[in-house]
Structure 1
Amino acid sequence: MFEVYIHVPFCMRRCGYCDFNTYTAVDMGEGASRGNYANMVIREMSIVRDWQIAHGIDEPEAATVFFGGGTPTILKASDLVAMLNAVRDTWGIAENAEITTEANPDTVNADYVKELANGGFNRISFGMQSAVPSVLKILDRTHTPANVAAGIAVANAVGMRSSVDLIYGAPGESLDDWRASVRTAIDLGVNHISAYALTVAPNTKMGRQIAAGTLPTPDDDDEATKYEIADDLLSAAGLEWYEISNWARPGYESQHNLGYWRNIDWAGLGPGAHSHYGNVLDVEQSTPKEKTETVKTSGLRSWDIAHPRMWGQAINAGDMPWSGSERISNEENLEEIIMLGLRIREGLDLSLLGNTVDMARIQPMEDEGLIVIRDGRVIPTRTGRLLNDTVIERFFDACSL
């Protein structure tokens, strides 16, 4: 299985909590403008495909394509469709593939969404974050709850699946605020909801406000309680958890995200995007300093140059626009299998670990209610999901990696 991720790093404004690789400037120089961005990504596809062929990578058709950001829908719909068509021309797109874009509710209307649907998109994920105006204000979000409902309505009208993202733990958000947000998301009728705990990086506006004492620090116990509230409400509404932060009605899980958690191959395109390959003959690593290193490896992860201008300069020079890459050793691969498998409802497949696991040291976690061992798989309970880092650490301790 193979999938493609396309990063669109542009936003109308930067939210106070956001630490993603995003930029608000319309034009940052040659190769780094919104107007020319689609063409640059399409050129990167050609460079990446040539590199794949040279390094023995023969991927199947893309099973999923995901446009993330940033705000992909800040670009013209025709730009997103053009990039999707280029994926089809470069790798092919599997029949019934999941084609998703993230969207800010402020940036789409009926005509925009219809153009996406006509161009091959079949899923749209709205950044709702909260249904409470005071919480949206703290998060520096500009949309209103009504905009989210309007976006979902137009997506439904053209036959696209919809998902919404929520964030819990914002400073000043009460338990009742959070219940209202989850219930509002459920009432929208979507079949997929993501709920993420607020993570505050010190280099963000919110991080500086918390450091200065003008906003309270998010509380771990408060976030744990809100997670349990979400899990209870979503489960009661028929949305089952399938990954720690994601719930869906059966058959509506995000196949793209499941691909990440199943550790499959993906190509990441755009500034700061990461790629992952399980079997590479050798690697030519290009950096902004134009150094080259050749290594032999069985697996590889790489990441593109983060700043759009430098990323664009590399593409204009015909170079792979990597900031760096690293080999994935067998030990690291097993560690990733463990970390990813212990996040999902289908669980960690013990057969992938061979004889590296001392099950006598794993069993106590089942006795403590952190995991369930069933049919050769280890599945986290809700308590285990809340204490996921602890479960993973204890699993590592029980493995001879």
Structure 2
Amino acid sequence: MPSVLPDGEPMPEDGSLPRHALDGSGQRPLAFYLHVPYCATRCGYCDFNTYTASELRGSGGALASRDTYAGTLTDEIRLARKVLGDDPRQVQTVFVGGGTPTLLPAADLGRMLAAVRDEFGLADDAEVTTEANPDSVDPRYLAELREAGFNRVSFGMQSARQHVLKVLDRTHTPGRPEACVAEARAAGFDHVNLDLIYGTPGESDDDWRASLDAVIGAGPDHVSAYALIVEEGTRLAGRIRRGEVPMTDDDVHADRYLIAEEKLAAAGYTWYEVSNWATDAAARCRHNELYWRGADWWGAGPGAHSHVGGVRWWNVKHPAAYAQALAEGRSPGAGREVLSAEDRRVERILLELRLSDGCPLDLLRPAGAEAAARALADGLLQPAPYEEGRAVLTLRGRLLADAVVRDLVD
């Protein structure tokens, strides 16, 4: 959940959408993202819309309190029901992210999920995920989540090496994420993800291999691995600028990605999005797939983004301002934009090209089609899918995905 909101037109106070937004909605899945903006401490690399207790002190008081947050977010879910009217769709996926959702009592997360279920209904096979820090859960907490209806959990592991975790300001100890996987399985979770970050200052290739070995040994059915992005304004950016820690470069990131692909593929994981691997199709994160394929989702919570039928909007950032709007019967939306047909075409290319089944070549303009032909000749696109009308990245193409996308959207 990025900390900077885009510009846009004003959001109506009642949150109403243009009439066309629900045209053809029956053919599109509906998902919910529930943002919990609280963290015990702020990681040095984090640029998300999150708040520690000290950051909230004196800036909203009770309105920003964790104790009342589940009720406040439930108010937005009820608002969503009013805005979407008699839309008959059941919710296919729910994803609770943060921040650290598991700083709230498990009962609060269950209450938020129950509000989605009560207002919209959940599909029989709905995927229900929460993110969790490894040091914020225990077996009892995980059992309570499972009882509340969660069936997928994503743990932020980042690294198996203590010195790497220290640079990232992560508070859990090495080995704890792997233990969490076992505890989640014992609690009855069908699907478990571990998140990794590569390219941290001071991390070596051997450190990265050790992290991958630890993940594989823990046995989650899903692994996400992201290159570290050093965002301006973060504590880590300041440390690098002062020369306290070194900055890794794109070549190091590429080497780490190749190591990840080699090790994960050998262990039975298959990539289905540039930064995501799963043991089989059932283990893929369906919620993220809905994002990547342009489905409808309602994002509830401070700073959360939503998209319904080509209309995108975003909420005010601060928990106190968010709660105040809902308490006054207003939408917490800060702004919105109505996407043009061209906007949506470009977004499809940007997102779908990152997937293992790629994007249709007929989305490309003439210049983009010429760029795709060059990418094929350069070994960045796979020949067989190209002949069948799809642009699918090769392994080398995945390393250069951002550059390939820039060429294809022309």
- Tell me if both proteins adopt one fold, taking TM over 0.5 as the criterion: yes
- Deviates further, 70-79 or 315-324: 315-324
Gaps of 5+ in 2: 1-28
| Secondary structure at the counterpart of residue 44 of structure 2 | coil
Alignment of 1:392 with 2:402, yes or no, is: no
> Number of paired residues?
373
Cα offset, 1:386, TM superposition: 1.1
Of 185, 188, 193 in structure 1, the residue corresponding to residue 215 of structure 2 is 185
1:158-307 alignment runs, 5 A limit: 158-160=187-189, 161-250=191-280, 251-278=282-309, 299-307=310-318
Opposite residue 207 of structure 1, the aligned amino acid is A
In 2: Cα distance, 1:189 partner to 1:172 partner: 27
Alignment of 1:34 with 2:61, yes or no, is: no
Length-normalised TM-score, structure 2:
0.88
| Secondary structure at the counterpart of residue 175 of structure 2 | helix
Which structure has more strand as a fraction of its residues? 1
- Alignment deviations for residues 103-158 of structure 1 (CA, whole Å, 9 cap, x no partner): 00101011100011011000100000000011001110110122212211111012
Cα offset, 1:374, TM superposition: 4.7
Root-mean-square deviation (CA), in Å?
A: 1.5
Length-normalised TM-score, structure 1:
0.90
- Deviates further, 212-221 or 321-330: 212-221
Gaps of 5+ in 1: 279-298
Q: Describe the shift of the 1:49–1:152 C-alpha distance in structure 2 as closer, same or farther (beyond 3 A).
A: same
Alignment of 1:131 with 2:160, yes or no, is: yes
CA contact (8 A) 1:4 1:62 kept: yes
Identity %: 49
Cα offset, 1:213, TM superposition: 1.4
In 2: Cα distance, 1:49 partner to 1:243 partner: 32
Q: Describe the shift of the 1:385–1:62 C-alpha distance in structure 2 as closer, same or farther (beyond 3 A).
A: same
Alignment of 1:97 with 2:109, yes or no, is: no
CA contact (8 A) 1:5 1:68 kept: yes
CA contact (8 A) 1:48 1:320 kept: no
Larger RCO (CA within 8 A; separation ≥ 6): 2
| Residue of structure 2 equivalent to 1:293 | none
In 2: Cα distance, 1:213 partner to 1:179 partner: 26
In 1: Cα distance, 2:392 partner to 2:307 partner: 25
Alignment of 1:156 with 2:175, yes or no, is: no
Cα offset, 1:276, TM superposition: 0.6
Cα offset, 1:356, TM superposition: 6.5
Opposite residue 222 of structure 2, the aligned amino acid is H
| Secondary structure at the counterpart of residue 73 of structure 1 | helix
Alignment of 1:6 with 2:34, yes or no, is: yes
In 1: Cα distance, 2:223 partner to 2:377 partner: 31
Cα offset, 1:359, TM superposition: 3.5
Alignment of 1:86 with 2:115, yes or no, is: yes
CA contact (8 A) 2:303 2:316 kept: yes
Q: Describe the shift of the 1:349–1:60 C-alpha distance in structure 2 as closer, same or farther (beyond 3 A).
A: farther
| Residue of structure 1 equivalent to 2:8 | none
In 1: Cα distance, 2:114 partner to 2:267 partner: 37
Of 311, 326, 329 in structure 2, the residue corresponding to residue 315 of structure 1 is 326
- Alignment deviations for residues 276-323 of structure 1 (CA, whole Å, 9 cap, x no partner): 112xxxxxxxxxxxxxxxxxxxx2100111111111111111111011
Cα offset, 1:59, TM superposition: 5.6
In 2: Cα distance, 1:238 partner to 1:41 partner: 39
In 2: Cα distance, 1:51 partner to 1:121 partner: 26
Q: Describe the shift of the 1:215–1:354 C-alpha distance in structure 2 as closer, same or farther (beyond 3 A).
A: closer
- Deviates further, 209-218 or 199-208: 209-218
| Residue of structure 2 equivalent to 1:292 | none
Which structure has more helix as a fraction of its residues? 2
